[in-house]
Amino acid sequence: MLRLSRNPGADTALKLTVVACAMFAFVFVVMVPLYNVMCDVLGINGKTSGTAYTAVPAAVDTSREITVQFIATNNDGMPWVFRPEVRQVKVHPGEATDTVFYAANPTTAMMVAQAIPSVTPSRAAGFFHKTECFCFDQQPLDGKASAQMPLQFVVDQDLPEDIRTITLSYTLFDVTAMTGNRVAVR
């Protein structure tokens, strides 16, 4: 085995120091990516993908009806009006569905928002595919402007049989400062 020092005590100590540094690196290099991968693959925290799903043409399963609920929440300090135009739809697995969210910026300055999706039950997250979503990008809105923000999704046919309701919740965050733009004038 590699010896880092002639002094056996120092040799042990140096090797353990390497271990300690490796554990520090482990947090950034392994734990964070691993957590994200586990969440992505298993839908553990209800996180759905942040990128568009490429739809695979498949038959629609008309024997199952899934209720999809939409919830819109503003995070702390976010003043926009933000709501789903339709609060609930019934869909068939495999069937592409469109819906719209309404957003309005009541301030006088341009603001940029980021919608963060979260799905419950978390088991369903991996089977809820968004082919088009306003959450993929930051959404800028000029002062006093409003927008209809589209969402297109398809529920996978392999959704476990015992899931009949899926709730998709968006939390809207003010990311104006993060984009380097000036924060809305107060």
Partner 1 sequence: MLCKKIMVFAGILLSSLPWVAQAQNQVNMSPGVTEIGAEIYDLHMLIMIICVIIGLLVFGVMFYSIIYHRKSRGVVPSQFHESTKVEIAWTAVPFFILVAMAVPATSTLLEVYDNDEAELDILITGYQWKWRYEYLDAAGEPVAFFSNLATSQEEIYNTESKGENYLLEVDEPLVIPVDTKVRFLITANDVIHSWWVPEISVKRDAIPGFINEAWSKVTKEGIYRGQCTELCGAYHGFMPVVVHAVSREEFDGWMAAKRAEQASDLAAASVEMSLEALMSEGEAVYNGQCMACHGASGEGGVGKAIAGSAIALGDVSTHMDVSIRGVSGTAMQAFGTQLSDTEMAAVITYQRNAFGNNTGDIVQPADVASYKQG
Partner 2 sequence: MGAHHHGPARGITRWLFTTNHKDIGTMYLWFSFAMFILGGAFAMIIRAELFQPGMQLVEPGFFNQMTTLHGLVMVFGAIMPSFVGLANWLIPMMIGAPDMALPRMNNWSFWILPPGFLMLASTLFMEGGAPAFGWTFYAPLSTTYAAPSVTFFIFAIHVLGMSSIMGSINIIATVMNMRAPGMSYMKLPLFVWTWLITAFLLVAVMPVLAGAVTMMLMDIHFGTSFFSAAGGGDPVLFQHIFWFFGHPEVYIIILPAFGVVSQIIPAFSRKPLFGYASMVYATASIAFLSFIVWAHHMYTVGMPVAGELYFMYATMLIAVPTGVKVFNWISTMWRGALSFETPMLFSIGFLVLFTIGGFTGLMLSIAPADFQYHDTYFVVAHFHYVMVAGAVFSMTAAVYFWLPKWTGRMYNETMGKVHFWISFVGFNITFFPQHFVGLAGMPRRVPDYALQFADFNMMSSIGAFVYGASQILFLYNVIATIVAGEKVTDEKVWDGAEGLEWTVPTPAPYHTFEVPPKVGAAPAHG
Contact positions vs partner 1 (CB under 8 A): 45-47, 69, 71, 73-79, 87-88, 106-108, 116, 118-121, 143-144, 162-165, 167, 169, 171, 173-174, 177, 183, 186
Burial group, residue 102, by CB count within 10 angstroms (0-12, 13-18, 19+): middle
CA 92, 97, 100, 101 dihedral sign is positive
Nearer to partner 1, 14 or 116 (CB): 116
Strand pairing class (165-174; 66-74):
parallel
The pair phi, psi for residue 125, each rounded to 5°, is -55, -40
The pair phi, psi for residue 66, each rounded to 5°, is -110, 130
Binding mask 117-156 for partner 2 (x = CB under 8 A): -x-x-xx---------------------------------
Nearer to partner 1, 106 or 140 (CB): 106
Q: How far is the CB of 47 from partner 2 (least distance, A)?
A: 7
Q: How far is the CB of 49 from partner 1 (least distance, A)?
A: 15
